[in-house]
A = this chain, B = another copy of it.
């Protein structure tokens, strides 16, 4: 009987409900129900709904970065590392559609804008992807475009195809995923 048992249940309930029905479909009463606690209990663990949602996001973000670093080809050329990241990104998202849907909701909301602004203007930001792109720029293997543009070119379409796959607008398989990631590389490479 650990302490964080309930806390975790609340976070997971939030993730599920937001993923399934959007922020509108996740009122605190429902979150409480799904987590098996009373409405008021949530406020013993989280100051507000905003705090709860941000915590849920960070929980997912960590899981995702962990997945990305598995078998990351550390010393390999830039292109190969990018293909790894892109492939993992897409496969992770379509394997965990609920997590993807939550992330999508989050990014397309004021939460997401704030989160992005902080990341962008907080120069201490030391994540693998930024490092990779900066290295690629130094080496001159990708187009000289602002970082946000490179991110958009490289990952925007990948998220789009994940969404379309989950909505059954297209059917992704391993080969198609590879070709899409390579197309994104074509967009940014010199």
Q: Which A residues contact B (CB, under 8 angstroms)? A: 22, 104, 108, 110, 113, 116-117, 120, 143, 145-146, 148-149, 151-153, 156-157, 159-161, 164, 167, 169-170, 176, 179-180, 183-184, 186-189
New A-B contacts (5) at CB < 8 Å, excluding given A149-B180, A152-B164: A104-B108, A145-B180, A149-B183, A153-B157, A187-B187
A179: chain B residues at CB < 8 Å are 143, 145
User: Residue on B with the closest CB to A159?
Assistant: B156
Contact with A157, one of B120, B146, B152, B180 (Cβ below 8 angstroms): B152
Contact at A160–B156, with CB atoms within 8 Å?
yes
Contact with A167, one of B113, B170, B183 (Cβ below 8 angstroms): B113
Known A22-B110, A167-B113, A169-B116; contact A187-B157, beta-carbon cutoff 8 A:
yes
A18 to B71, CA, bound (A): 44
A13 to B37, CA, bound (A): 42
Contact at A149–B170, with CB atoms within 8 Å?
yes
